[in-house]
Structure 1
Amino acid sequence: MAGAIVLGLSTGAFAATGEFDDMCAMGATMGKKVKTDCSINAQIEGKTYCFGNEAAKTEFMKDPAGNIAKANENMSKKNM
């Protein structure tokens, strides 16, 4: 499935609006709320995912499909 994901990386001069209410996508994967300004982000299948720092983005991009699934599961929980 990872091969089906089209990756387009972007770090623009302006902040983007991303999935998970602009929370860090890697934070959401780990079940944590980490607010970002979305200046560090990645485009995956036409959606923008925000990150708190470059290390979080690098870790997330090791398995974007799996991490998106985990983040979606965590974000759907009432405590997130």
Structure 2
Amino acid sequence: MEETMTKFLTPAIFAGALLFAGSAIAATGEYDNMCAMGLALDKKVETDCSVNAEIDGKTYCFGNETAKTLFMKDPEENLKKAQSFYDDNQ
């Protein structure tokens, strides 16, 4: 009985782990997943949102860790710039 349960549960556990890992890779963010730092610099940079940060309950995506680090030095001002550029370029 135990061997039968192990054979049954192992594939299910493996499949669940793959689903979880896949969903943890990238998030869905504001600005259609464009890099928030790119937008703050008046550039459209598409991302997969695997580098991201949560600010005030919203997820913002970045093209790489350097963009995220630069953005987080002054997130309030960078959000204003990003929002303005995004709104003007829809």
Asked if Structure 1 and Structure 2 have the same fold, meaning a TM-score greater than 0.5 normalized by the shorter chain, the answer is yes
- Where on the TM-score scale, by shorter chain, does this alignment land: which range? 0.7 to 0.9
**How big is the shift at 1:77?**
0.9
Structure ranking higher in helix proportion:
2
Gaps of 5+ in 1: 1-11
1:31 partner amino acid: D
Q: Distance in 1 between matches of 2:73 and 2:25?
A: 25
Partner of 1:58: 69
Aligned length: 68
Structure ranking higher in strand proportion:
1
The equivalent position to 1:67 in structure 2, one of 75, 78, 85, is: 78
Larger RCO (CA under 8 A, 6+ residues apart):
1
1:25 equivalent in alignment to 2:39: no
Computing the radius of gyration from Cα coordinates, the structure with the larger value is 2
Gaps of 5+ in 2: 1-22
**How big is the shift at 1:76?**
1.1
